[in-house]
Amino acid sequence: MTSIRIGAGQGFYGDTPDGAVAVAERGDVAYICCDALAELTMAILQRDRIRDPGGGFARDLPSFMRALLGPARSRGIRVISNAGGLNPSGAAAAVQEVARELGIDGLRVATVTGDDITARVDELREAGEELRNMDTGADIATIRDRIVFAVAYLGARPVVEALERGADVVITGRVADASLFVAPMVHELGWKWDDWDRLATGVVLGHLMECSGQATGGNFSGDWWNIPDLDRVGYPVCEVSADGTALLTKPAQTGGRVSVDTVAEQLLYEVLDPRLYMNPDVVADFTTVRLGQAGADTVSITGVRGRPRPDRLKAIVGHLDGWLGAATIGYSWPHALAKARHAALLIDRLAKRAGVVPIEQVTEFIGVNSLHGDAADVETAADIAEVTLRVAGRFHSEADASRFPRLATPLALNGPPFIGGAGTPQPPRALMGVWPTLVERRLVEDAVAVSVASAGR
Amino acid sequence: MSREVRLADIARARSGDKGDLANVALFAPDDLLYAALCREVTAERVRVHFGRFVRGAVERFEVPNVRALNFVLHQALDGGAARSLRSDPLGKSYGSLLLRMRVTLTEDEARRAPPAQSPPL
């Protein structure tokens, strides 16, 4: 029976290319799919785009491709990446440039555009799209003048078109993470766009693979200390058959672990209602997934059921939401927590007197409660060796966000004793709200375009 | 007879973010302990356990095929990762936060709990 092997190359913006290179060299794959985007990443890329109109794509794309293109090209492996972010065309040009540097001739690089609806927000509203916040129901008018980007999640179709047109590398913007992986399955195995169960299988596999090492032992909450060689963890590789049965494994001679437990943890990562996992091309029912240990570091995935795709596409709208000003000061034993608490009180007073009062404030005692909040056991911290105080405020203006941490700096000399790690004040950072919404599919898809260009010609 | 244990003694967890929502998936090692989790770890208990971190509702979904409960925490990430003021804007540690919860097991269930394991220090 026809089958296809696909590897994961990247789990986030900033991921190492080592995993992708190992997949290319020892994964026996025909495709490597790279997911560089997350909600937070879009906000970061937007800041880049403001600073430099030629930016807005993952800045590590050139160095990533410098490592991956050679091993991929020599084996005929095709690479699909959404590292184009908010500027897929600029990203594709950067890939072409890397190909020229490496002396790779005739590399066909495809670009998928149309997900970026930043300039179309008013047009869409005039066309009847309310763009309400799908979590809170709020009216988009409340953020309209603060919008800095808006992108819709595209499915696998434009990527399949790029593959049909012979692309060696496909660069996209906000194609849904899992859809990057679904595309080569549809292309190679001839799945139909209304074969919901197979598409759902593809989405489950893509979902499992899009966070790279998180399916193969990374972040495992069981006996993580027994997992071998996480410093060279093998990124996931799947083998999918035309009938929709699949195996998940990793390249030979890599670290990590592929077990029912490591895979199950990733199955529910960032999942809401598991019966209705929404993807642009299908709604997958994660409660139907059957996982089985099929061999060493190999898990079988069967039984996945899907339902017809949603009528509307998800989109996210990034909008400015004030400025972050934050200060940290470390305190040592004895009474480290009491000192940090007292310093927080002093900073509150200083801020009030200076008229630099945050709209919202978070006061954390790192080492005690910054991660577990009210559930943290503060009593056991009475004799703790060290505590870092962190005060973070949200401000309307960049100037206030900049002044706030500087109010804390003098406490290095004027406050409680035995400090450590009272660094220079951190520069203020723009805060960005991410507004989830839904948009009519046709209004987005009519504007999606695929172009293919050859490098080195 | 019954015994109180921490979820960390019997279960695994992973958490993630989606806008201002967080999810925490809680996994049981076998069917008996999965039934115990279903009985003990209610949405309401989780909401109380998370305290001020969660400003909205908590939903619970059963995922018996992987012996998991999936909790969806609304208004749980200080407005979402890119506008959060917190040290953990993505809720990555929420899984471990849930594992702090104490639950009551029957003697039978407690006997089934896997032997305690710890990493070398």
Question: What whole-number distance in Å separates Cα of residue A65 and Cα of residue A54?
Answer: 18
Inter-chain residue contact B87 with A366, CB threshold 8 Å: yes
Residues in chain B with CB shorter than 8 Å from the CB of A375 are 49-51, 97, 100-101
Report yes or no: A447 and A114 within 8 Å, Cβ to Cβ.
yes
- Would you state the pLDDT for residue A455? 67
Residue A117 phi/psi, 5-degree rounding, is -110, 20
Grade residue B1 by pLDDT with cuts at 50, 70 and 90. Answer: confident
Work out the minimum CA distance from B119 to partner chain A, whole angstroms: 6
Residues in chain B with CB shorter than 8 Å from the CB of A39 are 17-19, 80-82
Inter-chain residue contact B27 with A364, CB threshold 8 Å: no
- Residue A128 region, left (φ>0) first, then alpha (ψ -120 to 50), else beta? left
Residues of chain B above pLDDT 90, percent: 92
Inter-chain residue contact B82 with A318, CB threshold 8 Å: yes
**Searching chain B, which residue's CA lies closest to the CA of residue A365?**
B87
- Would you state the pLDDT for residue A409? 93
Inter-chain residue contact B53 with A373, CB threshold 8 Å: yes
Residues in chain A with CB shorter than 8 Å from the CB of B78 are 362
Residues in chain B with CB shorter than 8 Å from the CB of A319 are none
**Cβ-Cβ contacts under 8 Å for A100 (sequence gap 6 or more):** A455, A456
Report yes or no: A173 and A42 within 8 Å, Cβ to Cβ.
no
**Searching chain A, which residue's CA lies closest to the CA of residue B12?**
A221
Inter-chain residue contact B83 with A287, CB threshold 8 Å: no
Residues in chain A with CB shorter than 8 Å from the CB of B68 are 264, 268
If one counts every other C-beta atom within 10 angstroms of the C-beta of residue A130, the result is 14
**Searching chain B, which residue's CA lies closest to the CA of residue A260?**
B66
- Would you state the pLDDT for residue A58? 97
Answer positive or negative: Cα dihedral of A407, A410, A415, A417: positive
User: Which stretches of chain A score pLDDT less than 50?
Assistant: 457
- So what's the ipTM on this one? 0.98
Work out the minimum CA distance from A237 to partner chain B, whole angstroms: 21
Give the tens place of pLDDT for each residue, B25-84. 999 999 999 999 999 999 999 999 999 999 999 999 999 999 999 999 999 999 999 999
Work out the minimum CA distance from A307 to partner chain B, whole angstroms: 18
Of A270, A290, A366, the CB nearest to B23: A270
**Cβ-Cβ contacts under 8 Å for A243 (sequence gap 6 or more):** A1
Inter-chain residue contact B51 with A268, CB threshold 8 Å: no
Cis peptide before A334 (omega within 30 of 0): yes
Of B61, B80, B85, the CB nearest to A324: B85
- Residue A6 region, left (φ>0) first, then alpha (ψ -120 to 50), else beta? beta
Rounded mean pLDDT, B87-93 = 97
